[in-house]
């Protein structure tokens, strides 16, 4: 990490003590530090480095950059921020602190001061990721924490005049629910900021770890250790399937266990099979009876025996009702996580809208995958909703979108072979372009009931020799590594996990415009293409032709997609949000839970008898 503006060295020393490899810059260091031996020996000090010209550092050099009370001393703020962004790694974090507005003129301060709104605006113009950033006014600090972002808008877009705020909003540079209109009040107390533990509430032991007389403007945030939570995850088919929900469930459970929380997984399986996903050795797997909700008392008895303090349900059908009833009966908070487009269960009759609203009304917290799904729930639910995207592990080895001259190249699709994945349209499009790009092959990874029909279609279209039905595999990452383009023709998804996996491998991606969720990942023209049946030049075959014939285009889009994955969907970023959600649910308790749902099922619950201890424990 880099500390710009060393000051008295307190921040740099604290970071070094926490195990970071620290570099630091500063002017007139001897005026602030009487003896450089007061600095940790491991700190690499660079004196006299201008923040507007840090050419001694290579591009993308630092994971973290800390800049406390420096920018107000700089005439060319834009150039300084450009240099900071240049040397910050993709996925890195920039922490900045500046003073608030004040009428007094102070020597060396060439800016009159800041507020939260102005800091957000300036960082958005500079190209940082303000959408997912966090900001607060605290004491003599206007503080911001942002990712590297995708860079500033092209020069011709902003005019540095009226209308620029609205343009930045239109281009997605501000948070979706942030009203960045001309003349908005920037005196905002905080935005997207959560005190896990307010500074004044730090226990004495933690305060003692900080250097004495540490000034707020010169010290990094104290490391906060959350309380150890006891979490029960319901992952219904973790012993039977390697689908998307099971993938998310195991990743979430393993991550919370690795972070020191006590985790238990409950699943429904009469055969008591082991998990099809590797689990942290500290995680206990409970097998509950399959079948109708007549086994609800067994479920409640098992959860009570597990002695948990939070229930997390990851399944979008009538099983949600069982989780809510269990939570009510045991007095536990419950997080309901909807890992699918809410329209899909209703289309197939697995879940009605009335049932969905009834069960969500009993949740302490509601998790949705994308902001677009928020509008499907009424206003009274909004303060309980948390939107958190999925994440996937980083690639073991990146793909090579350009491929090798003279060797076959691959368009990859990874999905279950069912009608809503729309694989037949992909095969038909590939058949149309194959005569123009005969060196390309289509590889379809996955199995399902549509396999036979799709194989017959490939034969009928005369492309069977160029279409590889790879079948099911536990390790799809090997397939991404060998591909040059990824394509999903799915009609709708909760969250396109395979597209995100492709982005993590640096592949350009193609997705169907009819699948609204694809826009969360594919920025058309930047990370890939979105195809449409309505416009000829945007058809699937047209998009594939453009990519198969554009080697440099594939490389550029693949790199852009990898950066987007790193900055917006990286594991630590998403898992931090999940941990925060669980913590808020545990602290929030039952204040949102109503009794209506319990009353509906009261007679059924009362008619059940508890099973024997052996049945419950086994």
pLDDT value for 484: 97
Label residue 161 by pLDDT band (50, 70, 90): confident
Label residue 295 by pLDDT band (50, 70, 90): low
| Exposure on the CB side of residue 518, measured as CA atoms within 13 A | 26
Query: Please, what's the b/e burial string for 267-285 (b: 16 or more CB within 10 A of its CB; e: otherwise)?
Result: bbbeeeeebebebeeebeb
**Is 80 exceeded by the pLDDT of residue 191?**
yes
Higher pLDDT residue, 561 or 207? Answer: 561
Give DSSP secondary structure letters for 564-597: HHHHHS-HHHHHHHHHHHHHHHHHHTTTT--SHH
pTM equals 0.57
Q: Which tokens belong to 495?
A: 């969250």
The position carrying tokens 């007095």 is 331
Higher pLDDT residue, 478 or 153? Answer: 478
pLDDT value for 153: 85
Higher pLDDT residue, 467 or 169? Answer: 467
**Is 60 exceeded by the pLDDT of residue 168?**
yes
Residue range 285-302: average pLDDT?
77
Higher pLDDT residue, 155 or 109? Answer: 109
pLDDT value for 213: 35
Residue range 589-594: average pLDDT?
49
3 state SS of 138: strand
Q: Give the chain's domains with CATH numbers.
A: 50-209 (3.40.50), 230-391+577-617 (3.40.50.2000), 409-568 (3.40.50.2000)
Residue range 15-20: average pLDDT?
86
**Is 50 exceeded by the pLDDT of residue 593?**
no
Q: What is the pLDDT of residues 396-409, one digit of tens each?
A: 999 999 998 889 99
pLDDT value for 601: 39
Residue range 530-547: average pLDDT?
85
Q: How far is CA 311 from CA 154, 304, 598, in A?
A: 47, 11, 17
Label residue 196 by pLDDT band (50, 70, 90): low
**Is 90 exceeded by the pLDDT of residue 282?**
yes
Residue range 297-315: average pLDDT?
87
Higher pLDDT residue, 423 or 245? Answer: 423
Residue range 271-295: average pLDDT?
85
pLDDT value for 400: 95
């Amino acid at each position: 990490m880099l500390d710009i503006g060393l000051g008295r060295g307190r921040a740099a020393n604290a970071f070094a003590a926490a195990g970071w490899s620290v570099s630091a810059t500063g002017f007139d260091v001897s005026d602030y530090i009487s003896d450089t031996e007061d600095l940790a020996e491991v700190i690499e000090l660079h004196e006299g480095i201008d923040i507007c010209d840090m050419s001694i550092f290579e591009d993308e050099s630092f994971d973290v950059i800390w800049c406390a009370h420096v920018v107000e001393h700089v005439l060319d703020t834009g150039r300084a921020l450009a240099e900071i962004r240049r040397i910050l790694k993709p996925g890195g974090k920039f922490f900045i602190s500046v003073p608030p507005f004040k009428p007094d003129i102070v020597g060396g301060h060439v800016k009159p001061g800041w507020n939260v709104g102005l800091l957000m605006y300036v960082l958005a113009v500079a190209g940082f990721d303000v959408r997912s950033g966090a900001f607060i006014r605290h004491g003599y600090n206007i503080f911001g924490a942002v990712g590297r972002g995708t860079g500033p808008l092209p020069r011709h877009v902003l005019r540095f005049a009226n209308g620029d705020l609205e343009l930045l909003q239109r281009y997605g540079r501000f948070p979706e629910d942030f009203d960045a209109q001309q003349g908005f009040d920037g005196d905002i107390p905080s935005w997207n900021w959560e005190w896990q533990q307010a500074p004044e509430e730090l226990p004495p032991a933690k305060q003692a770890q900080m250097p004495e007389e540490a000034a707020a403007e010169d010290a990094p945030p104290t490391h906060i250790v959350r309380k150890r939570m006891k979490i029960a995850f319901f992952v219904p088919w973790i012993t039977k399937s390697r689908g998307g929900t099971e993938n998310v469930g195991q990743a979430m459970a393993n991550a919370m266990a690795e972070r020191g929380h006590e985790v238990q997984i409950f699943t429904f399986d009469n055969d008591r099979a082991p998990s099809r996903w590797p689990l942290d050795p500290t995680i206990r797997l409970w097998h509950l009876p399959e079948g109708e909700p007549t086994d609800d008392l067994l479920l409640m008895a098992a959860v009570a025996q597990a002695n948990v303090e939070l229930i997390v349900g990851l399944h979008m059908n009538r099983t949600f009702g069982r989780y809510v009833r269990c939570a009510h009966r045991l007095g536990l908070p419950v997080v309901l996580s909807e890992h699918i487009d809410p329209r899909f269960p209703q289309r197939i009759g697995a879940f009605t809208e009335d049932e969905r609203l009834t069960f969500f009304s009993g949740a302490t917290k509601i998790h949705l995958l994308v902001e677009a799904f928020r509008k499907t729930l009424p206003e009274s639910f909004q303060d309980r909703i948390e939107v958190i995207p999925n994440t996937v592990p980083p690639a073991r080895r990146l793909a090579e979108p350009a491929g090798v001259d003279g060797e076959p190249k691959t368009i990859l699709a990874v999905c279950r072979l069912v009608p809503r994945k729309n694989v037949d349209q992909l095969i038909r499009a590939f058949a149309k372009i194959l005569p123009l790009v005969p060196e390309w092959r289509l590889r379809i990874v996955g199995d399902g009931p549509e396999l036979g029909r799709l194989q017959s279609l490939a034969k009928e279209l005369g492309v069977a020799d160029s279409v590889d039905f790879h079948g099911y595999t536990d390790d799809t990452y090997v397939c991404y590594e060998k591909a040059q383009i990824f394509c999903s023709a799915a009609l709708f998804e909760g969250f396109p996990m395979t597209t995100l996996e492709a982005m993590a491998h640096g592949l350009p991606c193609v997705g169907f415009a009819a699948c609204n969720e694809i826009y969360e990942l594919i920025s058309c023209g930047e990370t890939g293409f979105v195809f449409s049946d309505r416009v000829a030049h945007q058809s699937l075959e047209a998009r594939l032709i453009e990519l198969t014939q554009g080697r440099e285009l594939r490389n550029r889009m693949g790199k852009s997609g990898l950066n987007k994955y790193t900055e917006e969907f990286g594991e630590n970023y998403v898992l931090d949000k999940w941990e925060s959600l669980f913590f808020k649910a545990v602290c929030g308790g039952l204040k949102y839970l109503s009794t209506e749902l319990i009353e509906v099922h009261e007679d059924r619950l009362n008619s059940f008898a508890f099973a024997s201890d052996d049945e419950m424990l086994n």
